Amino acid sequence: MTAIVVYIDQLDASGKLSVTATQLLTVARGAGEAVAVVAGGVAPELLNELGAYGVSRVLHSEQAELGQFLVAPKADLVAQAAAAVAASAVLVDNSAAGKEIAARVGVALNAGVITDAVSVSYDGEALVAHKSVLAGSYTVEARATSAVAVISVKAHSVEAAPAAAAVIPAVELVDVAFAPSSLAARVVTRTPRAASGRPELEDARIIVAGGRGVDGDFTPVEELADVLGAAVGASRAATDAGWISHASQVGQTGKKVSPQLYISVGISGAIQQKAGMQTSKLIVAVNKDAESPIFEIADFGIVGDLFKVLPQAVEEIKKRRG
Ligand SMILES: Cc1cc2nc3c(=O)[nH]c(=O)nc-3n(C[C@H](O)[C@H](O)[C@H](O)COP(=O)(O)OP(=O)(O)OC[C@H]3O[C@@H](n4cnc5c(N)ncnc54)[C@H](O)[C@@H]3O)c2cc1C
């Protein structure tokens, strides 16, 4: 059975798998032998979780360089681990770091690299990546023609499902030979972002996003997000105005997300915004202009003033939850 490597970052030693990692492991297990490559330690809880998702081998390294430099040393680890298990595919998350790792691993292994996959299927021979391209106008299927495929996959590509029977993974320590160029840019200081208590945009099952229509006041958007346990996103008009951090921007030059539910609030639906959210499973739009282009892609639309609609939604959700 061919080995499918899934990269997992544990440098923060959280000891938990991210939602996206559980989804990637589910894909890997369906197409071959799931092998986890972990940057950092493998705590007993993590090993149990990996075993529950059917991972048979865990290759990891705790070498200090992995945390002291930018992304390149992690790519060295993934490339060398993938070569050691003769992997036919490497799966990484679709974050900026994940995509950089994908590119570097692709170069190291002479592998075809496919980024921004919305989902991944297995055709009996190889992994097939499904992508939304040209600002969401087309959906394409892509398959690497090289011996190894490297695919970065958006969150919610599949429903994460534990294996029918848990296994006890074999743990192997990798002694990574770092390329000199990988150690060229050292991290000198880290400032942790203040925790919002909300899920990360890329991991969230529900996103409530606000645009210029919020007119500087994200309170209604945040209140709706909090009753739904959702992440808060934004259009570029809102981030450029400084109403919310650029890390919240969704779109062509922001994050590309595919949540189960995307609630678009006071956003017109420009092509560059759609490029980042059009693959959401269900889109609900709130906009006071019935002619707004966002309604062309919305599954449900509410024509109205967000400052009236959102508080009513929050009140109703709270009432129904008792
Ligand atoms: C190269 C390039 C890259 C870009 N990348 C991105 C990107 O990554 N992400 C992105 O989002 N944009 C991006 N843009 C910008 C994009 O073209 C749009 O300008 C932007 O998305 C508009 O944001 P908006 O919909 O919030 O604002 P607007 O287009 O001004 O729309 C505001 C909407 O709010 C509605 N509204 C106003 N008041 C209310 C109210 N009280 N209640 C309900 N609705 C209300 C209005 O009817 C309107 O539809 C990019 C542009 C370029 C050129």
CATH of the domain at 274: 3.40.50.1220
The CA distance from 96 to 91, in Å, is: 14
User: Are 145 and 233 within one domain?
Assistant: no
In 3-state terms, what secondary structure has residue 104? helix
For residue 4, which phi and psi values (nearest 5 degrees)? -115, 120
Using the 3D structure, point to which of 118, 151, 183 is the last residue of a domain.
183
User: Are 162 and 280 within one domain?
Assistant: no
In this prediction, residue 96 carries a pLDDT of 85
**Structural domain boundaries, residue 83:** 3-183
User: Are 73 and 166 within one domain?
Assistant: yes
Count: domains in the chain: 2
Backbone torsion region of residue 319, taken as left when φ is above 0, otherwise alpha when ψ lies between -120 and 50, otherwise beta: alpha
CA dihedral 39, 42, 43, 46 (to 10 degrees): 90
How many angstroms is it from 19 CA to the middle of ligand 1? 29
Do 213 and 104 form a contact (C-beta atoms < 8 A)?
Answer: no
Q: How far is CA 308 from CA 38, 158, 198, 300, 322, in A?
A: 47, 35, 24, 17, 22
In this prediction, residue 10 carries a pLDDT of 79
Q: How far is CA 135 from CA 173, 197, 271, in A?
A: 42, 31, 6
Task: Note the pTM of the prediction, 2 decimals.
Answer: 0.80
Mutate to test the pocket of ligand 1, among 214, 215, 236 (most ligand atoms within 8 A of CB): 236
In this prediction, residue 282 carries a pLDDT of 96
In this prediction, residue 13 carries a pLDDT of 62
Q: Which residues of the chain have a pLDDT value below 50?
A: none
User: Are 257 and 176 within one domain?
Assistant: no
Do 176 and 63 form a contact (C-beta atoms < 8 A)?
Answer: yes
Tell me the residue ranges of DSSP E strands in the chain.
3-9, 33-39, 57-61, 87-93, 112-122, 127-133, 138-142, 149-153, 170-173, 206-210, 231-234, 261-265, 282-287, 300-303
Residues with C-beta less than 6 Å from any ligand 1 atom: 211-213, 235-238, 249, 251-254, 266-268, 270, 272-273, 276, 286-289, 292, 305-307
How many angstroms is it from 135 CA to the middle of ligand 1? 15
Using the 3D structure, point to which of 168, 183, 198 is the last residue of a domain.
183
The β-bridge relationship of strands 112-122 and 149-153 is parallel
The CA distance from 101 to 77, in Å, is: 10
- Cβ neighbours of 314 (radius 10 Å): 17
Mutate to test the pocket of ligand 1, among 116, 232, 253, 257 (most ligand atoms within 8 A of CB): 253
Domain-located, residue 55: yes
User: What ipTM was estimated for this complex?
Assistant: 0.99
User: Are 235 and 316 within one domain?
Assistant: yes
